[in-house]
Structure 1
């Protein structure tokens, strides 16, 4: 905790207070010492900036929860996009090897909007 306090220029008591309020999370060692991840530095900096902007700790906690949810959503989306990219690659590979009749059949079952979305997702992943 002392190292973290030094890195972000706050007191150990502040870190303890933020942890008790649920603004920070610590892992416990077998000997009951608290360990903080490197993400804690970013969280404390965010908290301190918000405090300087006049926000209450209650509002800051809500913003942190929103931020955490957004990060989870983005990670989830990236995983889904990776999966979709693999599926699209398989389909495209089969289309390249197939004859014209099969290509037309696939085109009939995939909307123009879906093709555009798939192309956009592939570009985002690149």
Structure 2
């Protein structure tokens, strides 16, 4: 269990951000007898998901909804799953558009720069493809 300052340091975010995420219900710390908030490993996983979704420019309310859906012990809500898949499709469309915009810049890179970029993107792409295959198998 981590106090807010420790969690902020580990995750590289501000205590104020953690406070905000706690206020909106993304994080659910345990209160000690002396009223300190303690954050567990589940909070670290949630913060990692939040940071990931933020890099995809997903609004915080959608992030909250997605995390709620992923952590739900209840049965699968087909409508929410479909909405989440639609959001993923929209993000993929945005990425496709960004690739079109950056393509002329990529053409100007030398061979070493291209190889570095391909290596970085291909490892992330492989992970994404594996995740999608697992989801749809």
TM-score, normalised to structure 2, is 0.50
Q: 1:42 aligns with which of 28, 40, 45?
A: 45
Deviation at residue 73 of structure 1 after TM alignment: 5.7
2:6 is the counterpart of 1:33: no
User: Which residue matches 1:13?
Assistant: 16
CA distance in 2, matches of 1:25, 1:66: 16
CA shift for structure 1 position 47:
0.3
Residue 3, structure 1, aligned to residue 6, structure 2: yes
Q: CA deviation at 1:48?
A: 0.9
User: Structure 1 residue runs of 4+, over 4 Å off?
Assistant: none
- Give the Cα separation in 2 of the matches to 1:8 and 1:46: 12
| Higher Cα Rg, which structure | 1
Q: Does residue 1:60 correspond to 2:83, yes or no?
A: no
Unaligned 5+ residue runs, structure 1? 75-126
Unaligned runs of at least 5 residues, structure 2: 76-137
Calculate the aligned-residue CA RMSD, in Å.
1.4
Deviation at 1:43, TM superposition (A): 0.4
**CA-to-aligned-CA distance 1:5-51 (integer Å, 9 cap, x gap):** 11111100000000001011011011110001111111001001111
* Rounded Cα–Cα distance in structure 2 between residues aligned with 1:61 and 1:23: 6
* Mapped partners of 1:55, 1:17: distance in 2: 17
Distance (Å, rounded) in 1 between the aligned partners of 2:22 and 2:15: 11
Residue 23, structure 1, aligned to residue 26, structure 2: yes
Calculate the TM-score normalised by the size of structure 1.
0.55
